[in-house]
Amino acid sequence: MDTQVVIIGGGPSGLLLSQLLNREGIATVILERSGRAHVLSRIRAGILEWGSVEMLREAGVGARMDREGFVHDGTYLTDEDQMVHIDFHALTGKRVMVYGQTEVTQDLYRAQDAMGTTIVHGVEDVRILDLDGAQASVEYVLNGERKRLSCAYVAGCDGFHGVSRKTIPEDRRREFERVYPFGWLGILSHTPPVSDELIYANSPRGFALASMRNANLVRCYVQVPLSDKVEDWSDARFWEEFSRRLPAQAAERLVTGPSIEKSIAPLRSFVSEPLRWGRLFLVGDAAHIVPPTGAKGLNLAVSDVFYLHQALSAALKTGDETGIDGYSARALNRIWKAMRFSWQMTTMLHRFDGEDSFAAQMRRASLRHLAESETARRDLAENYVGLPY
Ligand code: FAD
Ligand code: DHB
């Protein structure tokens, strides 16, 4: 056998799984379609649940996060000028960490390099074979040459557009999907945040999110129609719209500046079941997508990795296959609860084109209920900081 586990995809799921397995003495090879610079240029998630923080520490990649990340005790949800504070720490005893996905990925690449793990960049035409045999194999093309690796297991960590999920025959998987009729336009800018904590803003003009990476780097989003293009949005137009969606007390603190990144992401809820097909296991975005409103995408990838690394380690070290047999059901149980939370946050905070007047009243009532009920705030906080593994 060439290696014990072939991991398809060198994003956060693939790198973290490899790192945890390597630390237990299990050999892995990572096959990544893109170059490293491209993977590290993608600006994505910014909030880590405490369970994710602990996983990164356990993987030996927590040092820079603990030095440079920012611990937040809560967040704000707003309805026009009313700001509802959700105090995670008072309500649940837990906090979250502001530390970008780009940094997590960078830390994992450094750690994997130090471990000497083989990460093959630029692979094409990956094919996953022999999943019901005594050993699996993965074929790929590198620099025009076809190669083949044999292994005990394959981890499909190749994101929503990867090959792993599609390797499971169509009639043996069930897909559940909801596509939302809007996207998020996000910018990154070297300016100070408008608030000490994130603001999720519901406004009659649509949703906005004021997030941050550090004291002089903000990540801000506005809900936009799917037909909009990045070129439609000058920095001036972005800041004007963003400011109008924030409550007055936050908008008056807004400092604007040039964007250093600007992109539009569509919003989708998606789950593919099962997560196991013979010797193949799906992890992270390869199996599921959440709309970003609950900050769950990256965190769900981390909890999948938690379950799978335990399961693979037991199977490879002691021959105990209970974990791999239970992986799909165990991970899906947590995935569906995060799906529900992300959908609920999205529905509560976004304006849907063509909606009736009732919908806006429901959003307003949800936010009023949060403002007045500690039980409602605790429920939101419990989900936001992350349900137990
Ligand atoms: P990915 O990060 O997608 O990594 C998959 C890797 O596999 C990629 O590097 C890709 O190049 C590689 N790959 C794909 N196909 C192949 C192949 N055939 N062969 C080999 N390699 C392959 N989450 C949040 O919580 N907050 C956010 O604000 C947020 N913003 C997002 C914005 C965008 C545009 C996207 C796409 C996602 C966003 N997410 C966000 C979700 C979060 O980033 C993902 O949940 C997270 O990246 C999942 O990690 P992953 O490793 O499973 O998948
Ligand atoms: C960020 C993104 C999110 O989707 C979210 O819910 C919170 C923060 C961010 O990019 O900072």
pLDDT tens sequence across 322-340:
999 999 999 999 999 999 9
Which residues, in sequence order, are bridge partners of residue 280?
A: 154, 277
- Is-contact 288 343, C-beta < 8 A? no
Q: Compute the distance between CA of residue 333 and CA of residue 307 in angstroms, rounded to an integer.
A: 12
Q: For residue 198, is it within any domain?
A: yes
In eight-state DSSP terms, residue 133 is S
Provide the residue range defining the domain that includes 195. 180-266+352-385
Whether 297 is in the pocket of ligand 2, judged by its Cβ within 6 Å, is no
Q: For residue 78, is it within any domain?
A: no
Structural domain count of the chain: 2
Residue keyed to tokens 């990956």: 126
Same domain flag for 20 and 138: yes
In eight-state DSSP terms, residue 351 is P
Same domain flag for 289 and 339: yes
Nearest CA to ligand 1 atom 40: 45
Whether 349 is in the pocket of ligand 2, judged by its Cβ within 6 Å, is no
Same domain flag for 381 and 337: no
Which CATH number belongs to the domain containing residue 282 in this structure?
3.50.50.60
CA distances in angstroms from 380 to 74, 206, 344, listed in the order given: 11, 21, 10
Nearest CA to ligand 2 atom 1: 46
Q: Which residues are catalytic?
A: 72, 200, 292, 296, 384
Whether 98 is in the pocket of ligand 2, judged by its Cβ within 6 Å, is no
Same domain flag for 184 and 310: no
Q: Probe ligand 1: pick from 158, 263, 290, max atoms within 8 Å of CB? A: 158
Angle at 350 between CA 257 and CA 377, to 5 degrees: 100
Q: For residue 302, is it within any domain?
A: yes
Q: Which pLDDT tens digit goes with each residue over 188-208?
A: 999 999 999 999 999 999 999
Whether 154 is in the pocket of ligand 1, judged by its Cβ within 6 Å, is no
pLDDT of residue 302: 98
Q: How far is the CA of 157 from the centre of ligand 1 (A)?
A: 9
What parts of the chain have a pLDDT lower than 70? none
Q: For residue 228, is it within any domain?
A: yes
pLDDT of residue 252: 97
Whether 304 is in the pocket of ligand 1, judged by its Cβ within 6 Å, is no
Q: For residue 83, is it within any domain?
A: no
Same domain flag for 120 and 212: no
Q: Where are the alpha helices (H) located in the chain, listed in sequence order?
A: 12-23, 36-41, 50-58, 63-68, 88-92, 101-115, 164-167, 235-245, 248-251, 297-318, 322-349, 357-372, 374-385
Q: How far is the CA of 46 from the centre of ligand 1 (A)?
A: 13
Same domain flag for 235 and 292: no
The three-state secondary structure class of 97 is: strand
Which CATH number belongs to the domain containing residue 253 in this structure?
3.30.9.10
pTM: 0.97
In ligand 1, the atom with minimum distance to the C-alpha of 39 is 9
pLDDT of residue 80: 84
Same domain flag for 18 and 161: yes
Same domain flag for 255 and 211: yes
Residue keyed to tokens 């709309």: 291
Q: Is the preceding peptide bond at 258 cis, omega within 30 degrees of 0?
A: no
Q: For residue 82, is it within any domain?
A: no
Q: Compute the distance between CA of residue 301 and CA of residue 49 in angstroms, rounded to an integer.
A: 12
In eight-state DSSP terms, residue 178 is E
Q: For residue 77, is it within any domain?
A: no
Q: How far is the CA of 249 from the centre of ligand 1 (A)?
A: 35
Q: Compute the distance between CA of residue 234 and CA of residue 132 in angstroms, rounded to an integer.
A: 53
Same domain flag for 240 and 254: yes
Q: Which of 102, 95, 91 is nearest to 42 (CA)?
A: 102
Long-range contacts of 346-351 (CB under 8 A, 24+ apart): 346/180, 346/267, 346/291, 346/293, 346/294, 348/202, 349/77, 349/200, 349/201, 349/202, 349/207, 349/293, 350/180, 350/182, 350/202, 350/206, 350/207, 350/223, 350/293, 351/204, 351/205, 351/206, 351/207, 351/223
Amino acid at 18: S
Same domain flag for 24 and 143: yes
pLDDT of residue 222: 98
Same domain flag for 342 and 375: no
pLDDT of residue 338: 98
- Is-contact 67 53, C-beta < 8 A? no
> What kind and span of H or E run contains 147?
strand 145-151
DSSP string, 230-290: GGG--HHHHHHHHHHHS-HHHHTT-----EEEEEEEEEEEEEEE-SEETTEEE-GGGTEE-
Q: Compute the distance between CA of residue 244 and CA of residue 225 in angstroms, rounded to an integer.
A: 17
CA distances in angstroms from 325 to 169, 279, 283, 286, listed in the order given: 19, 11, 15, 19
Same domain flag for 251 and 103: no
- What's the token pair of residue 23? 């630390």
